[in-house]
Amino acid sequence: MKDKDGGTVISLNGKWISHTHTVFAYLGFLGALIVGVNLHYHKIVKNEYYGYPQEWFPSVSATIGDRYPERSVFQICIALTSGPRFMLVLLWYYLTARPGASLPKFVAFTGVARTFLCGGWVYITSTDDHDWHDIFMISYLVLTLPWTLGCLATSPVNQKAVKYRKILASLFFGTLVPLVYFFIQHKVHKVPGAYTIYAFLEWSLILYDVGFDAVTALDFEGFELRLVDTKGGFNRGETLVRYRSTQMADVYVENSKKDGRPLAQEFSNAFSWAAMIDTLSDVYLGFVFWSVLTSLGVVVWYFPLWHMGISGYEVCILATISPYLLTNSAVRRAVFSNLRFVYIGSLTTLVAFMVITPEVRLFLTTTGLFFACLAWASNFSLESTTTKMDLKTAAFSLGLIMSSVAKFANQTNNPIWPLMNSINGGWNKTGLLLTVLAIARIHFRQPTYTPVDTTMYSGKGGSKYLAAIGLGGLLFALHSLLSDSSTMITWVWDGYPVKGPLAAPHGAYTLFAMGGGFLIGLLRQELATSPAFFATGCIGAFFLQSFHGWWGFYGALVLAVYLMAIVPSFIQSCARYPPGSTFGTAFMVYNLLVLAHVWVVAYAFVPGGFLLRERTWLVMTITMALIGTGLSVIVTNPKSGSHIKSRSEYGISGVRRTSRSYFIYALAGLELLAVSIAYLRFPRYDYKPYHPEEKLVTAGIWTVHFALDNDMWSSERRMRDLIKEMELDVVGLLESDLQRIIMGNRDMTQFLAEDLGMYADFGPGPNKHTWGAALLSKFPIVNSTHHLLPSPVGELAPAILATLDMYGTMVDVLVFHSGQEEDAEDRRLQSLGISKLMGDSPRPLILLSYLVTDPKKGNYNTYVSEESRMKDIDATDWDRWCEYILYRDLHRVGYARVSRSSITDTELQVGKFVVGSGKQSTEEQIDEDEVREGLRFPPQFRGDGVRGHRYHVFDKPRYFR
């Protein structure tokens, strides 16, 4: 067509651009499916375990990338899709952009990035380079979340289009849950047909993803792109974007005036990198606070662990009540006027890693926490206007989420803790540098606070102590349940076959729930503090406490949402009153709950322990009751904090250029990081034993002292090295439950299993009140059950009875930790219980245990008896008291005792067995040269050994005919 000046005009209707994109995209996938089914059906439906007829529908990846010509059909169509795709993103930006608005730019950037990433996984197939194909694919899926939410947030007022977008987005994200479930059924449980169902769900994601973008046709009906050749009137080929009518422009102006979309309004201001850096600095300081707070418990725990009772160092937990100092007006004035230096004081925890002596590291950690609690209590009081308080509490909450994400990425160790260093996986120097930069950014670029008068607080109504009690209960709940994404997963873990969530990838679900709660607290505080929402949180706590598997985890997710949602309201409630009495009392309540949390399992070693023995339910009930108490004050005074004088009244200038939108950006980044970590940590389940040619099983038992070595460093990597070099196929780990505040809410089995390539059974969870028993196995764990042996007086004795598939033979492995020497009747009853478990097993069996008995005396004769049918791996080894390996119906090959170095206080005992040989070993010992090389123990531990590990007691392994 011609314009009025005689130039050539090419009009491209936005609707037809959208249609073209949709047609070519669907044609690529469906064309490849049709060609593949017709030419290579049996090949593309076959997976690593099954083929036709168990699996009868191909997955997307097998269809589009494995075979020619279907791969070429797909790649050609996707190439044709790329042009309309870029045009679609461009037109969407022009349609939604407003002067100064930052969100449309972010959505456009996401759309362009997804298009390039799509090209990455399309043209680099899994057969070309599996790693890069996965990197492009997971990056594409991760960016699907901000693209979808961004398009929904910026959608013009078109009810039909918005409706379809919501439906398709809900279907897309809702499908991810069963998708993961059936993938686990296929990958973990090897269920026939599960991959076919997974394939259908995978194809449905394609339909929803492309369909979501196809909805733009409804918005583009009144939108077109014109290319005009103006014969010199304009530069040749200049592109003009015009509305075909004023209808869409009118609608858009009307939409901009709407007041019902507060979240969109948050994004309407111009994006500021300075504000973004301010926000990230705030969030990082929140991360540092939670890192310092969560580090103290595990550092203190080292000392009573070695003393086997109260050490006196427990008094260090009182560092958290430093805000009580603010009750003194002189101290308060000094702290408020020099807050930046108080923050610097918290750096002492971050430099503790430079010191080797445990006592000095404890002192530095305590000092850092003292200043950190003082700084944050003061800051909450000074951020007195509601808006500024929202931002400070947002940084506090996101700091917790960031801490959990960091632990998720590092298999439950925080990389800046004082028990970490460059050798065992720490990032201490990097963390220290970033903290210095964050403090400099936030505190040294602003004017100092003028002295504050005591009359600044005029809180009326309610009670400051009720508010403090509520905050104390909330702090404890956040720390004990949400400071690690896997803690509540271990609460509901019930063994194999898997009937619930796994730490990876389902830890990301916990992080998403925390993020959801954060958004509710940031945007809808009236909902967060409603009685109905509190009742919902209580129901979640009840489900977590009462159920295993998915139902218990659903309760955990509900509780996570609730706890994160109420953080801003509870902190604002306390900020209404003088900080000393409120925040000091809150941390004192927190400390009392921490002690109760320890007493439920440490009852045998502490005064008055019987009062809370095995009563986690009571601690949970008290916690929720305290939170309810704090909530009552907020309900009575819904406008908490509004009457405190603003910062400008105390001479503060240079107000920070930030808003809630930047915290939402930060949250999105953390959640996307969580998704990526979950993908990278997804178990491969392709584990192989060390010597399958011999049908050899090398089994060990080790009491690992809660993954703290003798010098108070995290010991997982040192443990990993010895387990790997000893070529252990199966190992029982005792004193392994670290999912408590005093152990740092950790889980050593995650790192060991993932790094060594082993299946892991965490054993009885932290709500079962034991010190822990865990099992790692190169062999698939077909079934496992958890047992608590009779313990009428002393500590609970955990056991795991697992059935392993060893070279096609089902073999039972029993991991057991007996009670202490002081409780003779407990140990007698436990020996009877374990003997019955062993006697009732119809399969070959290996006992990996901690028995607390002399060889051939007392309870030993119950474990090794006609009822149990068990044999001692070496009845001539008289120098034992704790660790024993017993067996039956297997051919014993060898036995060794390996010194611990400084990793723990107990040696590693190892036995070698051959499965299904049909031969029984005798008591006759033989020399190593009479044993085939594949059956021998590693030679490097002879003599002085390596890294402090050597064969000791006998100075060499023992072998049997």
- pLDDT greater than 90 at residue 778: yes
Residue type, 34: I
Stretch(es) of the chain classified as CATH 3.60.10.10: 695-960
Contact between 850 and 859 (Cβ < 8 Å): no
- pLDDT tens-place string over residues 724-771: 999 999 999 999 999 999 999 999 999 999 999 999 999 999 999 999
- pLDDT greater than 90 at residue 668: no
Residues 6+ apart with CB under 8 A from 94: 223, 241
Judged by average pLDDT, the poorest of 38-52, 214-228, 668-682, 835-849 is 214-228
Contact between 734 and 702 (Cβ < 8 Å): yes
Query: Shortest CA distance to 410 belongs to which of 669, 766, 748, 759?
Result: 748
Instruction: Establish whether 952 is a catalytic residue.
Output: no
- pLDDT tens-place string over residues 804-845: 999 999 999 999 999 888 889 999 999 999 999 999 999 999
Task: Share the mean pLDDT of the chain.
Answer: 84
Contact between 226 and 9 (Cβ < 8 Å): yes
> What would you report as the CA-atom Rg of the chain, rounded to the nearest whole angstrom?
31
Residue type, 860: Y
DSSP assignment letter at 327: G
User: CA 849, 854, 855, 860 torsion: positive or negative?
Assistant: negative
Residue 310: both structure tokens together: 């109260």
Distances in whole angstroms, Cα of residue 73 to Cα of each of 28, 117, 261, 684:
7, 19, 44, 31
Stretch(es) of the chain classified as CATH 1.20.1250.20: 273-680
Q: Report the CATH fold assignment for 695-960.
A: Deoxyribonuclease I; Chain A (3.60.10)
**561 SS3 class:** helix
Distances in whole angstroms, Cα of residue 783 to Cα of each of 498, 736, 801:
9, 20, 8
Rounded Cα–Cα distance for residues 183 and 683 (Å): 11
Write down the pLDDT at residue 459.
Answer: 53
Beta bridge partners of residue 801, listed in sequence order: 785, 814
Residues 6+ apart with CB under 8 A from 397: 286, 518, 521, 564, 567, 568
Looking at per-residue pLDDT, the higher value among 397 and 236 belongs to: 397
Among 1.20.1250.20, 1.10.1200.10, 3.30.420.480, 3.40.50.1100, what is the CATH number of 273-680? 1.20.1250.20
Contact between 367 and 349 (Cβ < 8 Å): yes
Q: Could you say which of 817, 891, 949, 952 is catalytic?
A: 817
Query: Shortest CA distance to 344 belongs to which of 285, 399, 395, 295?
Result: 285
Residue 770: both structure tokens together: 């034991």
Q: What is the 3-state secondary structure (H, E, C) of 282-303?
A: HHHHHHHHHHHHHHHHHHHHHH
- pLDDT greater than 60 at residue 648: no
**800 SS3 class:** strand
pTM: 0.80
Mean pLDDT for 868-878 is 94
Mean pLDDT for 168-196 is 80
Rounded Cα–Cα distance for residues 677 and 668 (Å): 14
Query: Shortest CA distance to 931 belongs to which of 878, 894, 883?
Result: 894
Long-range contacts (CB closer than 8 Å, 24 or more residues apart) made by 120-125 = 122/64, 122/74, 122/75, 122/78, 123/75, 125/64, 125/65, 125/66, 125/71
Looking at per-residue pLDDT, the higher value among 125 and 720 belongs to: 720
Q: What is the 3-state secondary structure (H, E, C) of 803-862?
A: EEEECCEEEEEEEEECCCCCCHHHHHHHHHHHHHHHHHCCCCEEEEEECCCCCCCCCHHH
Angle between helix 464-482 and helix 616-636 axes, rounded to 10 deg: 140
- pLDDT greater than 90 at residue 61: no
Contact between 337 and 449 (Cβ < 8 Å): yes
Split at pLDDT 50, 70, 90, the class of 130 is low
Residue 470: both structure tokens together: 């509520």
Compute the 3-state secondary structure of the chain and give helix, strand, coil in percent, each to the nearest 5. 55, 10, 30
